């Protein structure tokens, strides 16, 4: 293939050409805008070089929302294509690319960063710390994630997108059956982002174990911090598997090794095993923090402590370990013996027990409470019945004999959306609303938010419940069209309508943000929800150093005690605070990673070598750098604190 022809899209269509134009115009507008408002310096010093966990959290949040849009457009296009039989809207290749990128984008570039956004923003505040353990590593994690995601996304306009599904099974994903560069993007884009995630895991593990405020023993940690701790542990064990699998896949594609080939001793199922050894824990990496978030929101809006704290913790720890022993349920049909299927069938079902415990604990938290139906609470309430349905269908799938009939069908698609949307998406949207005032200092409009919630919920039910039925009627997943005679038509039309409602809800969410920026009051106090944990003990928005004085913890709900039981949270006086310096290296290094990745995707070796050298230069630079950070003086702290109204309220 000629050098330039590799960069062309294998089968372009008007959709792709118009999005190329749209992307070009948007980039141009952004550049012009920043230049016009003279914001380059602000952007560089305030954001691109920041090591502040709160700003990194916000950047994660923005990326996640952008990716939600990208994945959402894919989703609506898929549902539009399937809405009527024999539809000609998309061709097979285009559809395959769309569901592959949709899956990857939603899981890895939307749900993950959204969780990371909240972890980054909330965890240090919740444990009364000034930052994460390794602030600069945190910046690198973010920028690697970001560059991995961007690399993956340009596949849409340069060279072609992956088309072997988000699970990218070999040999389909090998060169023989996926000759264009799409799967290279998959391997390398996810690799770069995954390294970032692994470092986040290490960072938060250390942060939570080492940087808790005095008095906060493990059993006094708030639930979201617990879930982040457990998640970090899963990340540290699961992501290396992904790294290795992706390296092997990349080698097969770029250097003609034979790990996953059909001949020469390659084993296609080795990929499936490695993928799911990572992939199954991955879904718990998403859902456990979501559980943590619900455990923050539900007590707050029930005005009660979390019921069964100990069993909540125990069940999470149990799930985290067990999530590594069930991966085979993703290929019950691969021809292993009945006893193997039986073992994994049982281990899978066992996970339903701790999950059930959690559901009941949330129900009992609301019991005897004083329930306020705010937007975050609506998401949490909606989550309970919907997630229960998703969970019980999971148990149904776990019965391997029956899974022979569900596997690879719309029933499965319905199930995993049924856990992932009410579980993860509801959690992050609810928590996004909940923490919004902490992040930005004003509240999101409740009325529009409630509309968005109802559109999302009703849209969700319409979009996904019919799939259970079409699945049982024999509709396989990932088919781009079907004939009239199958009778799948009407139910798929309902799904399409549901998808449109969900899209509307997303527009409403964006609109709430826009509306609230313009109209919401800008002083809501530090604790607008009357919440219970430490993150609400500091100001809105949070000052750079988080807490002027490190809080003293005496119980699980120390802030609540401070408000209503006279516990003294901030003892002692202001002292100068040590903070890390900003650094451009994480951003620059990640840009080089991007170039390096791009060069690998297209096998441009000289550029790859230059990139590799660049990466090592950045690392070397760090090891010779002398940087002791800086101090914030007592005067400056006093000044900042004085600017906030209600200063020293809890002091």
Partner 1 sequence: MKIKWVLLAFLSTIVNVLSGCESLAVLDPKGPQAQTQANVIWLSIAIMAVIVIVVCAILVFVLTKYRDSKLPKDYEPPYIEGNHVVETIIVGVPILIVIFFSVVSVISNNKVEATPEGYKGQDPLVIYASSSDWKWHFSYPENDIETVNYLYIPTNRPLEFKLYSFGPITSFWIPQLGGQKYAMSNMVTTLHLAADESVEMMGRNANFSGKGFAENTFHVEAMSQDKFDEWVKEVKETAKPITEVRFNELLKPGHEGQLTFTGTHLDFSPAPEGENAGHHHGSSDSNANSKGEHMEHDHKSSNSKEKSPHKHE
Q: Which residues bind Cu ion (CB under 5 A)?
A: 269, 280
Piece of the chain touching partner 1 by CB under 8 A; list 18-26, 230-238, 287-295, 364-372: 364-372
- Dihedral-angle region of residue 52 (phi above 0 means left; psi in -120 to 50 means alpha; beta otherwise): beta
In the complex, the smallest distance separating the C-beta of residue 563 from partner 1, rounded to whole angstroms, is: 13
Check residue 526 and report its DSSP letter: S
**What is the number of the residue whose Cβ is closest to ligand HEM?**
103
From candidates 305, 554, 603, 640, binder to partner 1 by CB under 8 A: 305
Among all chains, which residue has been given the structure tokens 């409403």?
A: 508
**Taking CB under 6 A as the rule, does residue 72 contact ligand HEM?**
yes
List the single partner that 528 binds among partner 1, ligand HEM, Cu ion, none, CB under 5 to 8 Å by kind.
none
Annotate 291-338 with DSSP letters as a single string: HHHHHHHHHHHHTSPPTTHHHHHHHHHHHHHHGGG-GGGGGGGG---H
Structure tokens at 373: 């139906």
Segment holding 387, helix H or strand E: helix 375-398
Report residue 476: phi and psi, to 5°: -75, 155
CA distances to 130, 131, 237, 574 from 545, in Å: 6, 8, 32, 12
**Taking CB under 6 A as the rule, does residue 398 contact ligand HEM?**
no
399-418: contacts with partner 1 (CB under 8 A): 399-402, 404-409
Rounded Cα gap, residues 647 and 651, in angstroms: 8
In the complex, the smallest distance separating the C-beta of residue 467 from ligand HEM, rounded to whole angstroms, is: 8
In the complex, the smallest distance separating the C-beta of residue 452 from ligand HEM, rounded to whole angstroms, is: 13
Residue pair 53/122 in contact by the 8 Å Cβ criterion: no
**Taking CB under 6 A as the rule, does residue 502 contact ligand HEM?**
yes
Report the chain's terminal Cα–Cα distance, integer Å. 70
Annotate 558-609 with DSSP letters as a single string: HHHHHHHS------S----EEEPPP-SHHHHHHHHHHHHHHHHHTT-HHHHH
From candidates 6, 258, 303, 478, binder to ligand HEM by CB under 6 A: 478
**Taking CB under 6 A as the rule, does residue 341 contact ligand HEM?**
no
List the single partner that 413 binds among Cu ion, partner 1, ligand HEM, none, CB under 5 to 8 Å by kind.
ligand HEM
List the single partner that 331 binds among partner 1, ligand HEM, Cu ion, none, CB under 5 to 8 Å by kind.
partner 1
Q: Which residues pair with 630 in a beta bridge?
A: 579
Piece of the chain touching ligand HEM by CB under 6 A; list 100-108, 325-333, 364-372, 591-599: 100-108
From candidates 463, 562, 591, 618, binder to ligand HEM by CB under 6 A: 463
236-295: contacts with partner 1 (CB under 8 A): 262-263, 267-269
Piece of the chain touching partner 1 by CB under 8 A; list 137-145, 165-173, 569-577, 590-598: 165-173
Contacts of 228 (CB under 8 A, 6+ apart): 119, 123, 204, 208, 289, 292
Q: Which is nearer to Cu ion, 139 or 238 (CB)?
A: 238
**Taking CB under 6 A as the rule, does residue 185 contact ligand HEM?**
no
**Taking CB under 8 A as the rule, does residue 302 contact partner 1?**
yes
**Taking CB under 6 A as the rule, does residue 499 contact ligand HEM?**
yes
From candidates 326, 377, 398, 413, binder to ligand HEM by CB under 6 A: 413
Q: Which is nearer to partner 1, 553 or 585 (CB)?
A: 553
**Taking CB under 8 A as the rule, does residue 6 contact partner 1?**
no
Structure tokens at 515: 């509306």
Q: Which residues of 225-258 are buried (b: 16+ CB within 10 A; e: fewer)?
A: bbbbbbbbbbbbbbbebbbebbebbbebbbeebe
Residues in touch with ligand HEM (CB under 6 A): 72, 75, 78-79, 99-100, 102-103, 106-107, 110-111, 165-167, 413, 417, 420-421, 424-425, 463, 477-478, 499, 502
């Amino acid at each position: 293939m000629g050098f330039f022809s590799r960069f062309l899209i294998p089968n372009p269509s008007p959709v792709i050409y118009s999005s190329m134009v749209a992307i070009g115009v948007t980039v141009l507008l952004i550049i012009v805008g920043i230049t016009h408002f003279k914001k380059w310096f602000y952007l560089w010093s305030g954001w691109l070089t920041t090591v502040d966990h709160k700003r990194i959290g916000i950047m994660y949040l923005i990326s996640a929302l952008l990716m939600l849009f990208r994945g959402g457009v894919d989703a609506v296009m898929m549902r539009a294509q399937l809405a009527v039989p024999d539809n000609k809207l998309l061709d097979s290749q285009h559809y395959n690319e769309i569901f592959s990128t949709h899956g990857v984008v939603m899981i890895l570039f939307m749900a993950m960063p959204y969780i990371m956004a909240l972890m980054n923003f909330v965890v240090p505040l919740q444990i009364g710390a000034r930052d994460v353990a390794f602030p600069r590593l945190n910046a690198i994690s973010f920028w690697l994630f970001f560059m991995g995601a961007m690399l993956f996304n340009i596949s849409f306009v340069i060279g072609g997108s992956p088309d072997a599904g988000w699970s990218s099974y070999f040999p389909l994903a090998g060169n023989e059956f996926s000759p264009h560069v799409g799967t290279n993007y998959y391997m390398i884009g996810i690799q770069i982002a995954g390294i970032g995630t692994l470092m986040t895991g290490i960072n938060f593990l250390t942060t939570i174990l080492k940087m808790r405020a005095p008095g906060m023993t493990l059993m006094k940690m708030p639930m979201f911090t617990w879930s982040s701790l457990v998640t970090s542990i899963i990340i540290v064990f699961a992501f290396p598997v992904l790294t290795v699998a992706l390296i092997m896949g990349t080698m097969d594609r770029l250097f003609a090794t034979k790990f996953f080939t059909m001949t020469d001793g390659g084993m296609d199922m080795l990929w499936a095993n490695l993928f799911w050894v990572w992939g199954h824990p991955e879904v718990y990496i998403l859902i456990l923090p979501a559980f943590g978030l619900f455990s923050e929101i539900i007590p707050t809006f029930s005005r009660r402590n979390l019921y069964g704290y100990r069993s909540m913790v125990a069940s999470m720890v149990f799930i985290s370990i067990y999530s590594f022993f069930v991966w085979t349920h993703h290929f019950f049909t691969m021809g292993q013996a009945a006893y193997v299927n039986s073992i994994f069938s049982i281990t899978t079902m066992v996970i339903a027990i701790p999950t059930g415990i959690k559901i009941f604990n949330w129900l009992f938290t609301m019991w005897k409470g004083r329930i306020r139906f705010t937007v975050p609470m609506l998401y949490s309430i909606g989550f309970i019945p919907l997630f229960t349905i998703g969970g019980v269908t999971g148990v149904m799938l776990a019965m391997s004999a029956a899974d022979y009939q569900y596997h690879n069908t719309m029933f499965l698609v319905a199930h995993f959306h049924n856990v992932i949307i009410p579980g993860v998406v509801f959690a992050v949207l609810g928590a996004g609303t909940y923490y919004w005032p902490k992040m930005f200092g004003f509240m999101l409009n409740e009325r529009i938010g409630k509309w968005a919630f109802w559109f999302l919920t009703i849209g969700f039910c319409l979009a996904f419940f019919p799939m259970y039925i079409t699945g049982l009627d024999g509709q396989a997943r990932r088919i781009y069209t079907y004939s009239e005679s199958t009778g799948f038509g009407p139910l798929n039309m309902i799904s399409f309508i549901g998808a449109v409602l969900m899209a509307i809800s997303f527009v409403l969410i964006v609109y709430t943000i826009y509306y609230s920026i313009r109209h919401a009051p800008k002083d809501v106090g530090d604790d607008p929800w009357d919440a219970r944990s430490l993150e609400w003990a500091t100001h809105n928005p949070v000052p750079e150093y988080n807490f002027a004085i490190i809080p003293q913890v005496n119980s699980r709900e120390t802030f609540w005690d401070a408000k209503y039981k006279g516990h003294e949270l901030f003892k002692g006086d202001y002292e100068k605070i040590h903070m890390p310096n900003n650094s451009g290296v994480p951003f620059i290094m990640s840009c080089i990673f991007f170039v390096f990745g791009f060069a690998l995707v297209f096998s441009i070796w000289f550029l790859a070598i230059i990139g590799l050298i660049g990466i090592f230069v950045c690392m070397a630079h760090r090891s010779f750098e002398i940087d002791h950070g800086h101090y914030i003086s007592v005067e400056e702290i006093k000044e900042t604190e004085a600017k906030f109204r209600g200063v020293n309220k809890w002091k």
